[in-house]
Amino acid sequence: MKIALAQLNYHIGNFEKNTSKIIDQINKAKNDGVDLLVFSELSVCGYPPQDLLEKKTFIERNEQAIEEITANCTGIGVIIGAPTLNQHQKGKRLYNSALFLNNGKIEFVQNKTLLPTYDIFDEYRYFEPNDKFNIIEFKGEKIAITICEDLWDVQPIDNDFARNQLYNVTPMEKLIEFKPDVIINIAASPFSYTKIWGRKNIFIRNAKKYKLPVFNINQVGAQTELIFDGGSLVVNPDGTIADEMNLFSEDYRIYDLDKIKSCELKKCVDENPNVIAKIHDSLVLGVRDYFHKMGFTKATLGLSGGIDSAVAVVITARALGPENLRVLLLPSKYSSDHSIKDAEDLANNLGVQFDIVKIQEVVDSFNNSLSGIFSDVDEDITEENIQARARGTILMALSNKFGHILLNTSNKSEAAVGYSTLYGDMNGGLSVLGDVYKTDVFKLAQYINRESEVIPENTISKPPSAELRPDQKDTDSLPDYDTLDKILFAYIELQKPIEEILQEGFDKALVERIIKLVNNNEYKRYQAPPILRISSKAFGAGRRIPLVAKYN
């Protein structure tokens, strides 16, 4: 049997485009003599459709798309993912389903059993869990179809409090009773740099446990903050990897099942991948798909001469093309000459249009207007924030006038401790670096410069500063970023309590201050733009902390 995997980039709710892409791949596979073609989870409607699933017209258009795709499935077997109606009177209205199409009809439906409801996932909100199991027989082969989590019976643990056995049932244990010859897993698994090998190991472990080949097809592309990296896998029965499909791009490959069964194909997979390179590629894909799927073409951001805006502008230029980017340099009286020059040099290196708009007159007008109210009060962070808000207003004016979508350039370290200004540098339609710690921003800059100097070396080597007061440095009020980011990672990603973080040798007063800053600035993050997610615990939908909670 010849099995083909079609790793595609879908657009949520764009049934016409998704259906067209699927049918194009079906026709291609027919011409290639493929027996079975497999698409990813919820491929018909796109993943995750969220509350669109509660709209009757959305489900009706989904069913129309399934009918159109099914009519094209003659002379070839096809597996697609789509929501289907629960015909029973009880339970949720929908299932998350894998449909086997053959001879121009739906011959088999396998519904998803394990519905993730953690982090960014909320499937139990919409879908009824499956409780019936069977396999299909096709071309002399018995095929067990699983949907994403249904093969993820053992969860990688992030902290000691989490369960590594999350569910009460293991679907593959039910399916193995039918003595299948092959496992097919259709998935929508987003990228996380902290779990690059974790996902592969799941399929390796299942192949070895059941002594069966595993075909995993993942979707690719970004859906607002979620970035799906593709990287679909074929694993031999002995647990060796037969092939890994492209990362961060569409792909289509054909496999001879007999060769996979006999472990003839083996691919050498890098066991120590360049994590920073993958973060870079994921962010480029995230920006590109946000603009293309929203129908936007032009972007803007504030280029300060600092490392965050430097990395963000490179990512954006690579995602959209430098001709679609116009940036503003917004110096105040505290901006150093070298920062302005660094920003100019970077824009010239990239071929990006830039304008210099001095903000001091605007800032002075605000301060003069407030002088009566503030006459008996010393200057403090308020005056610094006025500078940030003046910049934010000017950037939004350019966005409004020319239709350039403003991108936010704040990093995760700043967002964590509240070192950003509401209605100022927090402005933007999308946060490019909001899930990237400052130490990794430096690594991204070095990666960008690996072949030639794109980002001026002075931008990378100089001490980070917001330049909102004379000789200001980030370390005036924060520890060095290497220390800060280790504390933040332990608290946010690993969810460790203070006592465990202190065991790593950090100063108690410092740890307590940092954690207090994280907790006290939740209200700011509620108002932040969507953040491109690259980790296992990004700010946003995957981290839900009540604003009014009294807990430290």
List active site positions.
41, 112, 148
Contact 447, 276 (CB under 8 A): yes
- Distance CA(331)–CA(16), nearest Å, equals 47
Which token pair is 16? 């016409």
Place of tokens 């980011």: 485
Which token pair is 32? 């290639």
Q: Cα-flanking dihedrals φ and ψ of residue 469, to 5°?
A: -155, 170
* H-assigned helices in 434-507: 438-448, 457-461, 481-492, 498-502
Query: Could you give the angle at the alpha carbon of 322 between the alpha carbons of 321 and 323, nearest 5°?
Result: 90
**Cα 89 versus chain centre, distance:** 36
Place of tokens 């449909």: 99
Strand pairing report for 353-356 and 405-408: unpaired
Residue 98 parent element (H or E)? strand 94-102
- Distance CA(93)–CA(89), nearest Å, equals 9
Helix (H, G, I), strand (E, B) or coil at 43: coil
Largest CA distance in the chain: 87
- Distance CA(132)–CA(145), nearest Å, equals 12
Q: Cα-flanking dihedrals φ and ψ of residue 99, to 5°?
A: -110, 130
- Distance CA(7)–CA(219), nearest Å, equals 6
Instruction: Tell me the sheet residues that pair with 13.
Output: none
Q: What is the DSSP string of 105-136?
A: EEEEEEE------STT--GGGTBPPP-----E
Torsion, Cα of 522, 444, 431, 248 (10° steps)? -120
> How many C-beta atoms lie closer than 10 Å to residue 33's C-beta?
11
Helix (H, G, I), strand (E, B) or coil at 329: strand
For 231, left (φ over 0), alpha (ψ -120 to 50), or beta? Answer: left
Burial class (CB in 10 A: 0-12, 13-18, 19+), 35: middle
CA distances from 365 to 176, 362, 423 (A): 73, 5, 18
Residues 6+ apart with CB under 8 A from 6: 22, 25, 29, 37, 38, 39, 217, 252
Contact 289, 222 (CB under 8 A): yes
| Among 249, 229, 228, 239, CA closest to 269 | 239
Contact 181, 233 (CB under 8 A): no
